């Protein structure tokens, strides 16, 4: 099931890629129903907060008419940054599933794990390495294109 | 000058208060010009990401047509949470000025300082305790009202 939703997140990531944005996609799921999908639009919209996760969480809140996403899972193709990890605490998202780590900017396992801080009032379940290879390939190809 | 802009942020915080949201306001300033103002709308809009800082940064990016806010200062009436501290790194905001600390959820001095992590690709200047008493009074009054 995780692979199924992550593949949809990867399709979203490809939209970012085509728009010149780092390919990251996100999908919010509740009771086996897709609530929202989003892709990274930071460059496309010239907007610092428009990471896939922020948009997907915002759209899910709108759709469900609540900021409480305890019963939701977010699928992301890349380990979240500080801002997006924070959005997961703010929304009390039940579960975070991501495809691959982000050594430079990831704040769930790479730089540190801000989600397991005992001071947080919420601690989502974390699952990693779902469709890892596919996401890594997409990212590598994007950055190779950028250098050329 | 810091007091002048913080007082505008405090007026924004009062809008949140009236709407039943934790009173937090934010103002983004560039070259002594106000670029955006915002208040916390998490409860009002039932949206987990609608903290004052996220909205103010997003509006500033729209206004300036760039996600690079290196030349901007953000004034906030409360120490930023994890998500909002992350948004400051994402936008590379030049300077953060806040009124008072947030012992429970603040990630700039209270729980930890995520903004000074050497792995971040940006480190804003940080100024604290501007109009501290006014902001504290507003917050205390809000939570007292909530309990009653």
Pairwise CA distance, residues B69 & B54, whole Å: 13
Structure tokens at B27: 């103002």
* Chain A residues whose beta carbon lies within 8 Å of the beta carbon of residue B51: 90
Give me the pLDDT at residue B43, please. Answer: 97
pLDDT digits (tens, 9 = 90+) for A78-97: 999 999 999 999 999 999 99
Q: Is the dihedral of CA B110, B10, B3, B97 positive or negative?
A: positive
Say whether pLDDT at B148 is over 90: no
Tell me whether residues A48 and B91 touch, CB distance under 8 A. Answer: yes
Pairwise CA distance, residues A47 & B61, whole Å: 5
Tell me whether residues B85 and A82 touch, CB distance under 8 A. Answer: yes
Tell me whether residues A67 and B47 touch, CB distance under 8 A. Answer: yes
pLDDT category of residue A58 using cuts at 50, 70 and 90: very high
To the nearest whole Å, the CA of A104 is away from the closest chain B CA by 7
Give me the pLDDT at residue A119, please. Answer: 92
Tell me whether residues B87 and A49 touch, CB distance under 8 A. Answer: yes
Pairwise CA distance, residues B27 & A105, whole Å: 27
The set of residues, in sequence order, having a beta carbon less than 8 Å from that of A69 and lying 6+ positions away, is A28, A30, A57, A60, A61, A91, A92, A93, A94, B48
**Per-position DSSP letters for B72-118, written without gaps between them:** EEEEESS---HHHHHHHHHTT-SEEEESS--TTT-TTTTS--GGG-T
Pairwise CA distance, residues A77 & A101, whole Å: 9
B85-92 average pLDDT score? 98
To the nearest whole Å, the CA of B8 is away from the closest chain A CA by 23
pLDDT digits (tens, 9 = 90+) for B126-146: 999 999 999 999 999 999 999
Residue identified by tokens 């004034």 is B75
Chain A positions contacting chain B at CB under 8 Å are 42-43, 45-51, 54, 57-58, 61-62, 65-67, 69, 81-87, 89-92, 104-105, 107, 111-112, 114, 117, 119-121
Average pLDDT in chain B: 97
Say whether pLDDT at B25 is over 90: yes
Of B47, B57, B121, the CB nearest to A61: B47
- Cβ contacts below 8 Å, chain A against chain B, sum to 117
Q: Cβ–Cβ contacts within 10 Å for residue B77, how many?
A: 32
Average pLDDT in chain A: 97
Give me the pLDDT at residue A148, please. Answer: 87
Say whether pLDDT at B46 is over 90: yes
Say whether pLDDT at A74 is over 90: yes
A18-44 average pLDDT score? 98
Tell me whether residues B86 and A84 touch, CB distance under 8 A. Answer: yes
Give me the pLDDT at residue A133, please. Answer: 98
Say whether pLDDT at B74 is over 90: yes
Q: Cβ–Cβ contacts within 10 Å for residue A138, how many?
A: 24
Model pTM score = 0.97
B54-65 average pLDDT score? 98
* Chain B residues whose beta carbon lies within 8 Å of the beta carbon of residue A49: 49, 54, 57-58, 61, 87, 90-91
Give me the pLDDT at residue A111, please. Answer: 95
Q: Is B53 a catalytic residue?
A: yes
């Amino acid at each position: 099931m995780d692979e199924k939703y992550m593949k949809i997140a990867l399709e979203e990531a490809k939209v970012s890629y085509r728009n010149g944005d780092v390919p990251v996609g996100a999908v919010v799921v509740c009771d086996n129903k897709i609530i929202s999908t989003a892709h990274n639009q930071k460059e496309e919209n010239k907007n610092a907060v428009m990471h896939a996760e922020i948009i997907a969480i915002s759209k899910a809140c709108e759709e469900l008419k609540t900021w409480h996403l305890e019963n939701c899972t977010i699928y992301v193709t890349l380990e979240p940054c500080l801002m997006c990890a924070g959005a997961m605490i703010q929304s009390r998202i039940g579960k975070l599933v991501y495809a691959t780590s982000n050594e430079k900017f990831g704040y769930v396992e790479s730089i540190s794990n801000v989600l397991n801080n005992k001071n947080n009032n919420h601690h989502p379940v974390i699952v990693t390495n779902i469709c890892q290879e596919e996401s890594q390939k997409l990212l590598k190809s994007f950055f190779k294109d950028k250098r050329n």
